[in-house]
Amino acid sequence: HLHERGVIHRDVKSANVLACPDGGIKLIDFGLACRYNPGDSKTTHVATCHYRPPDIHLGNSNYETEIDTFGVGCLMAELLLGFPAFYDHPGMKRDHTKMHQQKRDGGPAEHRAPGW
């Protein structure tokens, strides 16, 4: 519904989803939401770290609705696992640090890219 109206939420995560008594769900917290136009550059300081796509960690600012799709995928994994898929992952802090180092160094070299 949002995407059809040209809006991306940019922070899809379990804390922003409410279960309704009728069995439906509601997406809340639109503090990071924005209208999007294809090709427009946007901030990369979006989405909670564990729900943020790897390419945005690396500095891609030309994202569109796929940021929300990735968040929904992480949310589905969380429902199946019982905890966030990337939360306290042994390599999460290391990979996050490595991605920021690669961004500073001009992007990942194929042989250095983190294993997502």
Q: Is residue 109 in some structural domain? A: no
**Residue 11 designated active-site:** yes
d(CA 107, CA 115): 15
Taking only the tens place, the pLDDT of each residue in 25-65 is 999 999 999 998 877 888 888 878 888 888 888 888 888 89
The two three-digit tokens of residue 111, written as one number: 């042989």
pLDDT of residue 17: 95
φ/ψ (deg, to 5) at 54:
-55, -35
- Give the model's confidence band at 3: pLDDT under 50 very low, under 70 low, under 90 confident, else very high: very high
| Domain with 97 in it | 3-104
Domain of residue 36, CATH code: 1.10.510.10
Q: Tell me what percent of the chain is helix, strand and coil, each rounded to the nearest 5.
A: 35, 10, 55
> For the chain, what percent of residues have pLDDT higher than 70?
74
Helix (H) or strand (E) holding 17: strand 17-19
- Considering 44-58, 69-83, 96-110, the range whose residues carry the highest mean pLDDT is 69-83
Q: What is the pTM of this model?
A: 0.71
Q: Are 29 and 11 in contact (CB under 8 A)?
A: yes
Q: How many domains does the chain have?
A: 1
pLDDT of residue 24: 94
pLDDT of residue 93: 53
